Amino acid sequence: MDALDALLAQGIPAGVLVGVYHLPYFPKEYRFHFNAHNICVTGKEEDDYLVSDPVVMEAVSISYADLQRVRYAKGTWPPVGHMYWVKNGVRSSIDLRPIIVKAIKLNCKRMLDIPIPYFGIKGIRLLAGRMKTWEKRYGSRKAALNLAQIIRMLEEIGTGGAGFRFMYAAFLQEAADILKIQELHELSVRLTRVGDVWREFAAASARKFKERGEQVSSYHQLADLLVTIADEEEQIFMSLRRCIDGRNYN
């Protein structure tokens, strides 16, 4: 906390990793034990910190005690006070090409190569396989609550789902112009279409959770939609890796 105060005293905002369950300004429906939320602390007034959080529309304040509590939340992957900040301003003349290539290669690795099955394409397929067993293993109520959590993580607070596909597709579109690689434009279009399927999955899941509408999908049908997404994203990121490999702008 002293290190954070020292940065703020210099006028340097800091990104802070927190657990969301005890964030006092969070809506009740968003509070759950998740220790990988990022907020930006922009200043301090007496014992309160000024915070910019992507979940809320306006800047908010949080007390010293509350910020300390969420920065050192317990549970899975505790944040242990992790924070980060910008040391130097970005030069306008910087060559973005090697940075873009490095970023794309890293993202391909994360989507395709992480060996444990909880991340990337493997993670989508693991979720699909488990979703097919939910009703039998947990009963209808617990299965519905699991589905509600998936919707929340995809579309409201988490880092997956349609929105992030659209964002990454926009990045690839800009990267295509900077790197002069036409194939990136085509991959951008394909990823946008996958984003549409993620949106379809979220809408179908919401109908299933509420058991509302004329065509309510089964858990098997929702899982099959995830498999379709995983198959297409695997092809996209393999193609992305092929078109970027061997390019060196250093």
The CATH number for 12's domain is 3.90.70.10
| pLDDT, position 211 | 86
Could you tell me if 78 and 103 lie in one domain?
no
Distance CA 32, CA 158 (A): 12
At 27, is the pLDDT very low, low, confident or very high (cuts 50, 70, 90)? confident
Q: How far is CA 18 from the centre of its chain?
A: 15
Question: Tokens at residue 189, please?
Answer: 């279009």
The answer to whether residues 197 and 231 belong to one domain is yes
Which pTM value belongs to this model?
A: 0.79
Specify if 92 maps to a domain.
Answer: no
* Helix 97-112 × helix 120-131 angle, to 10°: 30
Residues 117 and 33 grouped into a single domain: no
In a domain, 191, yes or no: yes
pLDDT in tens, 149-198: 898 888 877 667 888 999 999 999 999 999 999 999 999 999 999 999 99
Domain end position, chosen among 84, 110, 143: 84
Looking at the structure, do residues 62 and 117 belong to the same domain, yes or no? no
The total number of structural domains that make up the chain: 2
Mean pLDDT of all residues belonging to the chain? 92
Residue 199 lies in a domain: yes
Contacts of 174 (CB under 8 A, 6+ apart): none
C-alpha radius of gyration, the chain, whole number: 21
Non-local (6+) Cβ contacts of 70 within 8 A are 18, 19, 20, 21, 22, 23, 79
User: What domain range is 69 assigned to?
Assistant: 2-84
Residue 51 in this model has a pLDDT that exceeds 90: yes
- pLDDT per position as a tens digit, 227-236: 999 999 999 9
Residue 218, burial from CB neighbour count under 10 angstroms (0-12, 13-18, 19+): exposed
Is there a domain that residue 89 lies in?
no
Query: Rounded mean pLDDT of 63-82?
Result: 95
Residue 250 is predicted with a pLDDT of 65
Better pLDDT: 27 or 217 = 217
